[in-house]
Structure 1
């Protein structure tokens, strides 16, 4: 099982085989549709002409990276901020995991450690970290002991709350409905 979004099949294949691409997709998954967020790593590889590694992105000229992110169609609605965020995450990967994104999860001894490692990345709060832990567990068979508990409600087997739960058009519809309900509830709570 892997991520199955209604995006270019090559973009899905990149997410399957390239841990850094998957992580970048998760970094970008805010304030834009998830299809856009998770297809942007593929567009980035096209613009660079190859699949970058974390070290390359960490050391990339920041202004040049912003230009790559901002080129129409932009990789994110906030290309400058998200180019910087991706670069920060890549620097953390270089500093902590020798640039190997997969070591973020492959070396984790249990779900709590996995959640802590993800939450320690720039731009990953508790909720985003829990969603990524759920995504790794549900779609990529990264299941250290306690991963479901660490992922909170996102780790529940029959949940339809996040990108971790999308396997087909029906599950995508259910996740969208859940997100709409959560937005409506948050709006009502503010009123």
Structure 2
């Protein structure tokens, strides 16, 4: 199983075979479309000339990495901040997981432990961590005991709330509708409706 986003097939294949690319896609999945966030690891790999490597990215000259992120088309609407965030995440991978993204989720005792590992990553609040946990469980069969509960409502097998639930064009449409409803509800609550 893998993602079924309407992006370059090679980008989907990279996400399926490269845990770091998948994690980088999740890092970038904010304030841009899912398609943009999860296709950017492939574009980054193309610009580097090889698959992503956490050690290389952790040690990369920060200004040079920003330049790679900012090169048109930019990998994110905030290339400077996201280049720094990717670098921070890669440094954690090097320090705690021997530079291997898959080790982050390789052997947790349960879903709560995995959620804790994810929330310890730079830029991963509880919601982002729960979405990524649901993505790992639903699409990549990373299913330690209690993973659905740890993923909160994103773990619901019938959900259409996030990238974890995208399996085809129809599910993508349902996820987009859900996100639009949530934005509208948030906007209404700030207005006092």
- TM-score by structure 2 length? 0.98
**1:154 and 2:154 equivalent?**
yes
Q: Which residue of 1 aligns with 2:29?
A: 29
**1:46 and 2:46 equivalent?**
yes
State the Cα distance separating 1:36 from its structure 2 match: 0.2
State the Cα distance separating 1:17 from its structure 2 match: 0.2
Q: Which residue of 2 aligns with 1:92?
A: 92
Measure the CA separation in 1 of the matches of 2:28 and 2:11.
14
**1:22-171 alignment to 2 at 5 Å?**
22-171=22-171
The SS at the match of 2:24 is helix
Measure the CA separation in 1 of the matches of 2:52 and 2:145.
31
Q: Which runs of 5+ in 2 are unaligned?
A: none
- Deviations 1:25-55, CA, capped at 9 Å, x for gaps: 0000000000000000000000000012100
Q: Which runs of 5+ in 1 are unaligned?
A: none
Measure the CA separation in 2 of the matches of 1:61 and 1:108.
33
Measure the CA separation in 2 of the matches of 1:114 and 1:4.
24
Moved over 4 A (4+): none
- TM-score by structure 1 length? 0.99
